[in-house]
Structure 1
Amino acid sequence: MAMFVHLTPAVDEARVRRAGIKAVGRGGRGGGGRGVFCFPVLPSYTLTHQWLRELARREGPRGLVAVHVRLPDDERVSVGPYHGTPVELTASDAVRRVAALADPRGWEVFLPRAVSRQEVHRVRAVRQVTGWRYFPGAHGVTPCTCDGCRVRGEYGSRRLRERRPHPLDGPPPPVPVLLERIGAAAGEPGALCAALRWFRLRRRGPVERLAGLAAHPDADVRMALAEAVARWSTPGVDALLAALAADPDPEVREVAGMIEETRGDGHG
Structure 2
Amino acid sequence: MPILTHLTSEKHAGAIRRSGIRVATGGFGTYRGVFCMPVLPDYFTTHQWLRELKRRGQRTIVAVDFRLRSDDPAWVGHYNRPHAETTVGGAIGMLMELADTRGFEVIVPRKIRNDEILRFRTPRQVIGWRYQPDANRTRPCPCRACLPNGTIKSRRLRRRLDPTGERY
Tell me the TM-score normalised to structure 1 length.
Answer: 0.59
Taking the aligned partners of 2:7 and 2:150, their CA distance within structure 1 comes to 22
Match of 1:14 in 2: 14
Taking the aligned partners of 1:56 and 1:153, their CA distance within structure 2 comes to 15
SS in 1 for 2:44: helix
- Using the TM superposition, give the Cα deviation of residue 96 of structure 1 relative to its aligned residue in structure 2, in angstroms: 0.7
Question: If each structure's strand is expressed as a fraction of its own residues, which one has the higher value?
Answer: 2
Q: 2:77 aligns with which of 73, 76, 80?
A: 80
Higher relative contact order (CA 8 A, sep 6+): 2
Deviations 1:194-237 (A, max 9, x none): xxxxxxxxxxxxxxxxxxxxxxxxxxxxxxxxxxxxxxxxxxxx
Correspondence list, 1:154-173, <5 A: 154-165=151-162, 167-169=166-168
CA contact (8 A) 1:58 1:151 kept: no
- Using the TM superposition, give the Cα deviation of residue 46 of structure 1 relative to its aligned residue in structure 2, in angstroms: 1.2
Moved over 6 A (4+): none
Q: Within the alignment, does 1:47 sit opposite 2:50 as a pair? A: no
Question: If each structure's helix is expressed as a fraction of its own residues, which one has the higher value?
Answer: 1
Gaps of 5+ in 1: 170-268
Max Rg structure = 1
Q: 2:60 aligns with which of 52, 63, 77?
A: 63
Q: 2:117 aligns with which of 113, 117, 120?
A: 120
Greater alpha carbon shift after TM alignment, 150-159 vs 62-71: 150-159
Taking the aligned partners of 2:149 and 2:160, their CA distance within structure 1 comes to 16
- Using the TM superposition, give the Cα deviation of residue 29 of structure 1 relative to its aligned residue in structure 2, in angstroms: 4.4
CA contact (8 A) 1:69 1:119 kept: yes
Correspondence list, 1:183-222, <5 A: none
Taking the aligned partners of 1:29 and 1:66, their CA distance within structure 2 comes to 26
- Using the TM superposition, give the Cα deviation of residue 50 of structure 1 relative to its aligned residue in structure 2, in angstroms: 0.4
Gaps of 5+ in 2: none
Taking the aligned partners of 1:87 and 1:58, their CA distance within structure 2 comes to 27
- Using the TM superposition, give the Cα deviation of residue 3 of structure 1 relative to its aligned residue in structure 2, in angstroms: 1.3
Tell me the TM-score normalised to structure 2 length.
Answer: 0.91
Instruction: Please provide the CA RMSD for this pair.
Output: 1.6
2:12 partner letter? D
Match of 2:87 in 1: 90
Taking the aligned partners of 1:152 and 1:146, their CA distance within structure 2 comes to 10
SS in 2 for 1:6: strand
Taking the aligned partners of 1:10 and 1:36, their CA distance within structure 2 comes to 17
Cα 1:14–1:81 change in 2 (3 A) is same
Deviations 1:225-256 (A, max 9, x none): xxxxxxxxxxxxxxxxxxxxxxxxxxxxxxxx
Taking the aligned partners of 1:28 and 1:89, their CA distance within structure 2 comes to 22
1:168 partner letter? R
Match of 1:4 in 2: 4
Match of 1:173 in 2: none
- Using the TM superposition, give the Cα deviation of residue 62 of structure 1 relative to its aligned residue in structure 2, in angstroms: 2.3
1:57 partner letter? R
Match of 1:101 in 2: 98
